[in-house]
Amino acid sequence: MPPTAPPTTPPRPPTTPPITPPIPPISPPIGSSNPSPEIVFSSFLSSFLKFFMIKILYD
């Protein structure tokens, strides 16, 4: 019986940790230089789109 209980408990903890780690890395990149090129590119694209929209609206 003991050997069956241990294997069932370990798998559960690993499932929760992976869900939390991804959240922290998302906020640091914004303040950091540019660890994640994807976030930098998305932010650049959004700012460029905003500028483009303003140019069209005010033109």
pLDDT digits (tens, 9 = 90+) for 1-57: 555 555 554 444 444 444 444 444 455 555 555 556 676 778 888 888 888 888 888
Query: What are the two backbone dihedrals, phi and then psi, of residue 2, each rounded to the nearest 5 degrees?
Result: -50, -45
The count of structural domains within the chain is 1
Query: Would you state the pLDDT for residue 23?
Result: 46
pTM recorded for the entire structure: 0.33
Tokens of 40: 């930098």
- For 32, the domain range is 5-58
How many Å apart are CA 46 and CA 54, to the nearest integer?
Answer: 12
Q: Which letter does DSSP use for residue 32 in this model? A: S
Query: Would you state the pLDDT for residue 14?
Result: 45
